[in-house]
Structure 1
Amino acid sequence: MSSVSNRKLKAEKDSMIPLSKRARFLLTYFQHQNWSLPNSIIYYILKNPSNSKVYQKLIQCCKYFFFKNPIIVVDKFTIDGDEKWKATLKDDEKFIDFTKISTKLWIYDVFDKYCFSNTSANPLNLVSSVIPQIYRCDAECMFIDKQIISYNEFLFLTSNIKFITLSKTPIMNENGTIVPLEKLVKKLPKLISFVYYDSLTSSSITSNTLKELLEIPHFSKITQWRLYKIPEKFDIETFYTFFKKGKVANFYLDFAVSISQAYKNRLESIVDEILETRNEDDKTPYIDFNGLSLEKKLKLQRLHYC
Structure 2
Amino acid sequence: MLSFIILVLDSFINAESPLHKEFYDRCCPSYKKVIDELDEKLACMKDRKEVRDAIMAFSRRYLTPKEYWNRCFEHDGQLDENDPDCEIWGKLCRKTAKHAFFHLHFEKKKWSFFSLTRNNLPPIHFYFNLYYDKHVKLIDYQHCSASERNIGYPHDNLEECFRHYEEVASSIPSKKVIKRYEEMKDLYLKIKAAEDNVHEWFKLLLEVKDVDFVKDNVEVRLGKDYFDVQLWKLYIGFLKQNAEYKRLIHTYSKYCRFFLDDHDMLEKYKNDMIEYGPINLPWHNCYEFEVQNGVEEAAEEISVEPEAVLPFDSSICSRFYDTYFFQSFSLPGPIILYMLKNANDRVLRQLFSSCKYFFVKNPTPICYRLETGSETRFNNEMLTLVDSANPNFYLKSTYITGCIRIFVSNTSFLSSLIPRLYSCKAKYIKIRYQQLSFDELKFLIQHGGVIDLFANDCEIKDANGDYIDLEKIMAFLPNIQFFYMKCIKVNANTGHALSNMKFNAKLSSCTIVGIRGQPFDSNEFLKYCITNKAERLYMNFCFDEEFDADFVKNFGEILSDYKKSNENVSFYLKHGNE
TM-score for the superposition, normalised by structure 1: 0.68
2:468 equivalent in structure 1: 179
User: Which residue of structure 2 lines up, in the alignment, with residue 227 of structure 1?
Assistant: 512
Summarize the Cα distance change of 1:271–1:193 in structure 2 as closer, same or farther, 3 Å threshold. closer
Q: What displacement does 1:42 show? A: 2.4
- Richer in helix (by share): 2
Question: Is 1:62 aligned to 2:347, yes or no?
Answer: no
- Given that 2:373 and 2:385 are in contact with CA atoms closer than 8 Å, whether structure 1 keeps it comes out as no
Residue 217 of structure 1: SS of its match in structure 2?
A: coil
The count of aligned residue pairs is 261
Aligned pairs for 1:1-306 within 5 A:
19-26=314-321, 29-46=323-340, 48-80=341-373, 88-89=379-380, 97-100=390-393, 103-114=396-407, 116-117=408-409, 122-123=410-411, 125-158=412-445, 159=447, 160-198=449-487, 203-218=488-503, 221-231=506-516, 233-235=518-520, 237-238=522-523, 242=527, 250-256=537-543, 258=545, 262=550, 266=554, 278=564, 282-289=567-574
Separation of aligned partners in 2, 1:247 and 1:65: 42
| Distance of 1:126 and 1:94 partners within structure 2 | 10
Partner SS state of residue 351, structure 2: helix
Q: Which letter maps to 1:45?
A: M
- SS of 1:54 mapped into structure 2: helix
Aligned-partner Cα distance in 2 for 1:271–1:135: 42
Q: Which protein, 1 or 2, shows the higher relative CO under an 8 Å CA cutoff with sep ≥ 6? A: 1
Pairwise CA RMSD of aligned residues? 3.9
Q: What residue in structure 1 maps to residue 6 of structure 2?
A: none
Q: How far apart are 1:106 and its partner, in Å?
A: 1.2
In structure 1, what residue type is equivalent to 2:397?
K
Mapped contact 1:181–1:205 kept (Cα < 8 A)? yes
**Cα 1:185–1:237, aligned 2, differ >3 Å: closer, same or farther?**
closer
For the residues of structure 2 that align with 1:245 and 1:63, how far apart are their CA atoms?
A: 51
Is the Cα contact below 8 Å between 1:73 and 1:108 reproduced in 2?
yes
- SS of 2:337's equivalent in the other structure is helix
Three-state SS of the structure 1 residue aligned to 2:490 is: coil
2:506/2:532 contact within 8 Å kept: no
Instruction: Quote the Cα distance in structure 1 between the aligned partners of 2:529 and 2:483.
Output: 22
Give CA deviations for 1:180-206 in whole Å, capped at 9, x if unaligned. 1111101222222222222xxxx4233
Distance (whole Å) between structure 1 residues aligned to residue 426 and residue 530 of structure 2:
34
Q: How does the TM-score come out when normalised to structure 2?
A: 0.39
Gaps of 5+ in 1: 1-16, 294-306
Output the CA distance in 2 between the equivalents of 1:213 and 1:74: 33
| Amino acid aligned to 1:187 | F
Q: Could you say which residue in structure 2 is the equivalent of 1:12?
A: none
Offset at residue 99 of structure 1 (A): 2.6
Report if the CA contact (8 A) 1:232-1:263 is conserved: no
Distance in 2 (alpha carbons) for counterparts of 1:247 and 1:103: 38
Structure 1 residue 252: deviation in Å? 1.0
Rg larger in structure: 2
Tell me the CA shift for residue 266 of structure 1.
Answer: 4.4
